[in-house]
Amino acid sequence: MKLEPGQRAYVTGAGSGIGRALCLRLARRGVAVAACDIRAEAAEETAGLVMADGGTARSYALDVSDADAVMETADRIEAEMGEVSLVFNNAGVAMHGVKIHQLTMAEWDWVIGVNLYGVIHGIRAWVPRLVERGRPAHVINTASLAGFQVNPDFLTGAYSMTKYAVVALSETLELELKEHPIGISVVCPAAVASGIHLSGRARPERLGGPAEREANHFLGDLVKDGQTPDEIAGKVLAAVEEGRMFVFTHPETKAWLERRFTRVLGAYEPPLVAPEEERSDAG
């Protein structure tokens, strides 16, 4: 889908990181952005940066784990800004450094609520509108390279589980919307120099309240030398215009997936054969 002045975009997780970078790059292309984040002040700051750069933006405080809030915000955005054709389901939180059997239910609810339900709610709020209009549009879901492999060193099981699901949702959307002029992309970055390791500070009260997870702190050191959010945003927008489904931003990670899929395909050899039933000589 060609990015053109006058289009409008919905961007979640817009208060920092990739989300903020997407808003700034979109605005420089003439796209008006609805900058959505659970942190109202951060969303306002992003909108301010866009406008200071000559772009058009409005900010919206939004908890993407709240289905009703996402639907209501979608209605409000289109009432205030006009028809949206670019949907970036980008918000995400970290859940690293703890074995899955040690996570609390509040932690499970948080990571699933944002990383998975946030995408589901975005799909429910926007895709029916896009289908009904029948005009060119694009949905971009942010997953991760963790959506294709579980890192053996960083205890990313819960995070990876949600990102695997985002990949599956995106593949399903692509199949189901083939007859509509709606492109689908799933973004799968590796290390990005963002503040995702601090995401627990914005956890809402209904999911346990703000928390600083010590287990995530190593992640800050891990990603500080990664690609910048602006680099990732540039690659994402290029992928949208090229119509790419899978958006792999870190070429060096290809070998990681080759190792995983070599193991998966190797499980077919030799073929499994069920043993014959043992015959009983009784009777």
Decide which of 9 and 214 is more confident: 9
What's 8-253's CATH class?
alpha beta
Q: Which of 64-73, 204-213, 247-256 has the lowest mean pLDDT?
A: 204-213
Percent of the chain with pLDDT strictly greater than 70: 90
Quick: pLDDT tens for 175-202: 999 999 999 999 999 988 876 666 666 7
Sequential DSSP letters for the chain: ----TT-EEEEESTTSHHHHHHHHHHHHTT-EEEEEESSHHHHHHHHHHHHHTT--EEEEE--TT-HHHHHHHHHHHHHHH----EEEE-------SS-GGG--HHHHHHHIIIIIHHHHHHHHHHHHHHHHHTS-EEEEEE--GGGT---TTTT-HHHHHHHHHHHHHHHHHHHHTTTTTEEEEEE----BSSSGGGGGGG--GGGT-----GGGHHHHHHHTTSB-HHHHHHHHHHHHHHT-SEE---GGGHHHHHHHHHHHHHTTSSPP-PPPPPPP---
Which candidate in 10, 60, 117, 159 is catalytic?
Answer: 159
Quick: pLDDT tens for 25-69: 999 999 999 999 999 999 999 999 999 999 999 999 999 999 999
- For residue 226, what pLDDT band results from cuts at 50, 70 and 90? confident
Decide which of 157 and 279 is more confident: 157
Decide which of 153 and 158 is more confident: 158
pLDDT for residue 97: 84
Question: Has residue 11 got a pLDDT over 80?
Answer: yes
Question: Has residue 281 got a pLDDT over 60?
Answer: no
pTM for this model (two decimals): 0.91
pLDDT for residue 108: 94
What are the boundaries of each domain within the chain? 8-253
268 is catalytic: no
pLDDT for residue 61: 98
- Residue written as token pair 């060193």: 153
End-to-end CA distance of the chain: 74
Quick: pLDDT tens for 74-115: 999 999 999 999 999 999 998 888 899 999 999 999 999 999
